Amino acid sequence: MAQRRMTRRAMEAFVRGIHYVRAAAEARRRATKRAIPARALRWEENIHGRSAYIVDSVTGFASRSLAMFIREIPPGAATGAHHHNFEAVAYVLEGRGHDVHDGRIVRWRAGDGLYIPPMVTHRHVNDDPRRPARLLFVTNWPLLNHLGITTFTQLTAARRASPRHRG
């Protein structure tokens, strides 16, 4: 059987016609938001402390693979234990504390970086009784969410600071 060879131009036209290539090109065109000013960040209270979403669908970004947010953990407090099937990395902006990863203590302080693998039960703990800790997180949850396979399981409630830790 003879094979017909496509010209480069015909191959490019064919590829542009594939639905997911068209969808990616369209998403790129729609992704007009490229920055968010600090004054536009909105902090919200949640089970893990306070969070300010930076690059996320709630702030109008069209990223389908990454999200970025700041988590603030009050003095002497901790997030609830949880696990998820996506990866997360964090950079400690302010404070000192530790994580508990599947029972293992991982200490951190300002300037340190953290990696949270998928499906590791973990919590973030602020060891400072007077100052909040702030961590900048980047996760790939939007990618898994886009694929319809994101899981997040909250195992315990957040631990709030005891009265003696409330400055």
pLDDT band for position 123 (cuts 50, 70, 90): very high
Nearest Cα to 133, choosing from 57, 15, 66, 49? 49
What CATH architecture is 37-165? Sandwich (2.60)
Which pTM value belongs to this model? 0.79
Poorest-pLDDT segment among 7-11, 66-70, 110-114, 148-152: 7-11
The pLDDT of residue 162 is above 60: no
Q: For residue range 71-116, list pLDDT tens digits in order.
A: 999 999 999 999 999 999 999 999 999 999 999 999 999 999 999 9
Per domain, the residue ranges of the chain are 37-165
Q: Which residue has the higher pLDDT, 67 or 14?
A: 67
